[in-house]
Amino acid sequence: MRPILVINSGSSSLKFGLFVAKSGDEHALVSGNADAIGSDSGTLEIVDEQESVLSRETHRFTSQKEALSHITKQLTASKYEAPVAVGHRIVHGGPHLVKHQLITDAVFSTLQKSVHFAPLHIPPAVELVRHTERLFPQVPQFACFDTAFHQTMPEAAYRFAIPEKYFADGVRRYGFHGLSYASIVHALGKELPPKTVAAHLGSGASLVALADGQSVDTSMGLTPTGGIPMGTRTGELDPGVPIFLMRNEKLNADALELLLNHNAGLKALGGTNDMRKLQTASDAGDHNAQLAIEIFCRSIAKTVASYAAVLDGLDLLVFTGGIGEHSSAVRADVCRRLSFLGIALDAERNASSSAVISSEAGRAAVRVMPSEEEVQIARECRKLLP
């Protein structure tokens, strides 16, 4: 069957799936998610291909490595065939690792040397790759980079207005959520129109402008901190703000990183990074929650409008990610601001999160689509297998 094990690690979660090729695409034999890693309320759920629950438990995992070891034992006990390859989602590989590839010693060494490009993401990814080697010795491992999808951007989109020497050192716009966007392009297939904007809205959030299915601009930049405000990240920020904080608050690089990535965004504005809690508070009249949601939706709409300028029009707007898929209120707020682009929602379709939520009166279509990063990783790995 040649199953591929896919590992998608987050800051406090670990998603996985065991995929086989079937009917021309990748099919999950089993999948699951370890959530709230590091917390006493951590959970693990594993489901089979019929979505029947094989295991659901509360478990305190101290790390992604421990969670993966536990998951591997569960899969072995359930007599699933051992994988012929393992695919990892790697958020950032720096300037030299920008395509999906087999993890060799040279690739691993380059990844270790690229830590400064994503100090929050690369170290745990490196640890998980090494741990997977111990769990599955002699099994090839593949790195699937979120930045790979955006390598089609033109120079005018990925260059910053700073001296050439910094660009030569890798300071440029890379873009992220690439596996999510690639899965959307794959799912739409021939239905993908020439001028599309996709918005991946979750705890991390970004947008991409797609010209004939290729990335030509995206909101995140050198790191996943840029772009629109997110759950705990600032998004775009006047470069003078960090300088001001360094001079006046005496913040060093570590303190700035903590502030910009963990104590900013919706959390700083509304007191929580949970959109559901923000919406409840907003409905009850909480000004801070209302302001957080308004800033979030306003930023999304501004980015969509700017990408319509890049694309010379707009045929389709796609919402994906946890917030994009489940918050009808956010979708309605964003689309209300974009009526001048020919966007009009069907209120009932939007309320039920239908696949297509635009009305026939609109010139541009609006869709809600799941982000399928794990199956996309399996697709990319299958292509690379000998």
Q: Which of 39-48, 90-99, 115-124, 278-287 has the lowest mean pLDDT?
A: 115-124
Strands 25-35 vs 43-48: parallel, antiparallel or unpaired: antiparallel
Determine whether 274 is an active site residue.
no
Query: Tell me, what's the pLDDT at 368?
Result: 98
The answer, yes or no, to whether residue 122 has pLDDT greater than 90, is no
| pLDDT, mean over the chain | 96
Domain annotation covers residue 168: no
- pTM reported for the whole predicted model: 0.96
Instruction: Give the per-residue pLDDT at 155.
Output: 98
233 pLDDT band, cuts 50/70/90, is very high
**Of all helices (H) and strands (E), which one includes residue 75?**
helix 64-77
Stretch 215-231: mean pLDDT: 97
Contacts of 184-191 with C-beta under 8 Å, sequence gap 24+, read 184/318, 184/320, 184/369, 184/371, 185/210, 185/213, 186/376, 186/379, 187/369, 187/372, 188/369
Position 220 confidence tier, pLDDT thresholds 50, 70, 90:
very high
**What integer pLDDT is reported at residue 11 of this predicted model?**
74
210 found inside a domain: yes
User: What's the rounded Cα separation, in Å, for the pair 214 and 263?
Assistant: 33
53 and 133 within one domain: yes
Q: Which one from 25, 35, 146, 333 is the annotated catalytic residue?
A: 146
Are residue 211 and residue 348 in the same domain, yes or no?
yes
C-alpha distances in Å from residue 58, one per residue of 15, 41, 212, 306: 16, 6, 45, 45
pLDDT beyond 80 at 1: no
pLDDT grade for 158, boundaries at 50, 70 and 90:
very high
Same domain, 34 and 91: yes
pLDDT of 245 higher than 80: yes
Query: Confidence band (pLDDT; 50, 70, 90) for 106?
Result: very high
Q: If you count DSSP H runs as helices and E runs as strands, how many of each does the chain have, helices first? A: 15, 13
CATH number at residue 131: 3.30.420.40
Q: Are residues 113 and 220 in the same domain?
A: no
Q: Please indicate, yes or no, whether residues 220 and 311 belong to a single structural domain of this protein.
A: yes
Domain enclosing residue 219, as ranges: 192-368
- Spatial neighbors of 379 by CB under 8 A, at least 6 apart, are 25, 26, 186
